[in-house]
Homo-oligomer: A and B are copies of this chain.
Amino acid sequence: MKSGETLLRVRYAETDQMGVVYHSNYFIWFEVGRTEYFRQLAMPYAEFEKNNLLLLVTKAFCQYKSPACYDDLLRVVTGVNSLQEVRMTFKYEIFRHEKNELLAIGETEHAFVNRMGKPVVLKKYNPFLWRRLLEATGEQQE
């Protein structure tokens, strides 16, 4: 499964005095997208952390095309861009759901780290999860 989808509703708290959503909130929605994507892969991210594997954000990017507004129903489409032994990247698209209007696109890069924040080589650190991620995302090992 190369991508997953989830719906969310814009909260009042997420707006600012411009009358639209404050830009940093899109990164929180990306995280909601990742969480639901992993759940749809039957690998909930909460389980990763219980197994002492964390996905530390190392880069984050968003391009805003049209503003999201209070109470909008949004669709977050999350996919894997690349999977490597020490990191993976995700890409996102956020749509105003009913109108199918693209509001933003984004990307995040994550290092595999343990609870102490030390980078780990996933293939060695957790070969089982590594194979499942490879299969799930349909990636060729790079």
* Chain A residues within CB distance 8 Å of chain B: 9, 11-13, 15-20, 22-25, 27-28, 31-32, 35, 44-46, 49, 54, 56-64, 67, 70-71, 117
Q: Which residues of B contact A13 (CB under 8 A)?
A: 16, 22, 24, 28, 31
* Given A13-B24, A15-B17, A16-B16: A64 and B71 interface contact (C-beta under 8 Å): no
Would you call B54 and A71 a contact (CB within 8 A)?
A: no
The answer to whether B67 touches A59 (Cβ under 8 A) is no
Q: Which residues of B contact A62 (CB under 8 A)?
A: 59-61
B residues near A46, Cβ cutoff 8 Å: 70-71
Residues of chain B within 8 A (CB-CB) of A70 are: 17, 46, 49
How many copies make up the complex? 4
Q: In angstroms, how far is the closest chain B Cβ from the Cβ of A134? A: 24
A98 to B9, CA, bound (A): 22
How far apart are the CA atoms of A60 and B63 in the complex, in Å?
A: 7
| Contact assessment for B16 and A56 in the assembled complex, using a CB-CB cutoff below 8 Å | no
Residues of B with C-beta under 8 A to A20: 17, 117
Contact in complex: B59, A63 (CB < 8 Å): yes
22 pairs, A vs B, C-beta closer than 8 Å: A11-B31, A12-B45, A13-B22, A15-B16, A17-B17, A17-B18, A17-B19, A18-B117, A23-B27, A24-B25, A24-B27, A24-B31, A24-B60, A46-B70, A49-B70, A56-B64, A56-B67, A58-B64, A59-B62, A60-B61, A60-B64, A61-B62
